[in-house]
Amino acid sequence: MTLKTPEEYLKSIQRDVNIYMFGEKIKNFWDHPIIRPSINAVMKIYELAHVEKYKDIMTTKSHITGEIINRFTHIHQSTDDLIKKVQMQRLLGQHTACCFQRCVGFDTANAVYSVTYEIDKKKNTNYHERFKKYWTEVQQQDLMVDGAMTDPKGDRSKRPSEQSDPDVFVHVKEQKEDGIVVRGAKIHQTGFLNSNRAIIMPTLTMRPGEEKFAVSFGVNTDEKGITIIYGRQACDTRKLEEGKLDVGNYKYGGQECFVIFDDVFIPNENIFMNGEIEFSGELVNRFAGFHRQSYGGCKVGVGDVVIGAAALISQYNGVDKASHIKDKIIEMIHLNETLYSSGIACSALGHQREAGNYEMDMLLANVCKQNVTRFPYEIGRLAEDIAGGLFVTLPSEADWNSKEIGHLLKKYISTCDGVSPDDRYKLLRFIECMSMGVASPSYKTESMHGAGSPQAQRIMISRQANVDEKINLVKKILDIE
Ligand code: SF4
Ligand code: FE
């Protein structure tokens, strides 16, 4: 059994990576105040896997080795596994109030597992065995893995092969006997820097002539030729200031990177697709489906914290008994549990793939994520409504602690007897962070664009839903031929 401790995980990512932020190369990135909260969020995953009461959710038995593994490295073997995945993500969202980054590689692995099996069956390749071997190492070493899909894409009106600069899509630059050389970039890379490995996938369905772009492979995140540029988040430099309260969620945060692959060599054993264009779309859709299911868990957990913050600030403000406040909290709960319902529903109605693993229901997973593009905005709006405007006009922590004026701020920010003004200050800052700050990258914008922007789900919904069947229903009832 290998369940890394948070400290062992931390040690495993202390390597020499080519990482830049604010135009400078970063040394010992794990100690950087802007980056560290994102590492803390990942460490929480490793920590909870050792907590007795969460064992059933956080760990499971590997179908490959029979050993106990962290669930984030599991290949789903039943609909119960799919449900537990969503429960686990809600749990982590509740503990971190941000993106904990490990789901992307998890979802990638489950998609690659079934797609490689199907490629092999049709093409006589051996991608599936390769991938199983690769993933067994991940399970046995409890590695943190990123999954990389989104290319910069250049001119959206042109196909990958028509771009004036082919590098805007990751592609095979050179085929060698023992491997391939790849070039390109992946953007919005959740947790890439905090991951030991990454699995790269094509960004869209490739067509004949676009074989070099239909490529999937595993790579170490510190491989030669990889450059990582850290993504900015709103208010990120507050983490560089003295004090911590102005950060809001000062313990945890998400991480997004811009990753460039400049002629990176990938040995044959780490290649899981190389030119099989007819499977590129399937890989994209399956990964996206799994990740849209994920949002029915992680964003619900974060939503729980937002609802808790709104309820607590209403107590601090002395308005928690007001009927309109109670009703707003009920509305927030209703919306949040609706998200959870679709996350659970697409899991419960999952099905088995030929490779033996289980996959969520594609239509319901896309409905789930479509809901996530909307409801967190309303939940956030209600939290802001309940909090009052102070969370965006509040003076800084330096003023709060100032010998000259701090006592005045505390006097006028005090509310009910028994409520500490310090706690109210801290909570208002937290609400600010959840609403527009560094949490997640953002609870709301990540809900909108993470796992695909709204239109991507609408395309999948239109493909999955059978409207003709619905027309026939009404025809049958009305005796229409
Ligand atoms: Fe996981 Fe949610 Fe972060 Fe995606 S956005 S990696 S599902 S926590
Ligand atoms: Fe995401």
Rounded-to-integer distance, Cα 474 and Cα 348, Å: 28
Residues of the chain with pLDDT under 70: 1, 437-441
Cβ of 302 below 6 Å from ligand 1: no
Predicted confidence at residue 438, as pLDDT, reads 57
Cβ of 294 below 6 Å from ligand 1: yes
Cβ of 104 below 6 Å from ligand 1: yes
Cβ of 298 below 6 Å from ligand 1: yes
Q: Report the separation in Å between the CA atom of 191 and the middle of ligand 2, taken as the mean of its atom positions.
A: 9
Query: Relative to the CA of 451, which ligand 1 atom is closest?
Result: 4
Q: Report the separation in Å between the CA atom of 424 and the middle of ligand 2, taken as the mean of its atom positions.
A: 30
pTM: 0.97
**Rg of the chain taking only CA atoms, in angstroms:** 23
User: Annotated active-site positions, please?
Assistant: 99, 103, 190, 256, 291, 295, 298, 446
Predicted confidence at residue 161, as pLDDT, reads 94
Nearest CA to ligand 1 atom 8: 99
Predicted confidence at residue 212, as pLDDT, reads 98
Predicted confidence at residue 249, as pLDDT, reads 95
Residue ranges and CATH numbers for the domains of the chain are 281-472 (1.20.140.10)
Query: Relative to the CA of 446, which ligand 1 atom is closest?
Result: 5
Q: Report the separation in Å between the CA atom of 92 and the middle of ligand 1, taken as the mean of its atom positions.
A: 10
Query: Relative to the CA of 92, which ligand 1 atom is closest?
Result: 8
pLDDT tens profile 314-373: 999 999 999 999 999 999 999 999 999 999 999 999 999 999 999 999 999 999 999 999
Which token pair is 457?
Answer: 């789900």
Q: Report the separation in Å between the CA atom of 440 and the middle of ligand 2, taken as the mean of its atom positions.
A: 9
Predicted confidence at residue 1, as pLDDT, reads 64
**Dihedral (CA of 92, 97, 102, 107) sign:** positive
Which token pair is 24?
Answer: 């400078």
Predicted confidence at residue 442, as pLDDT, reads 75
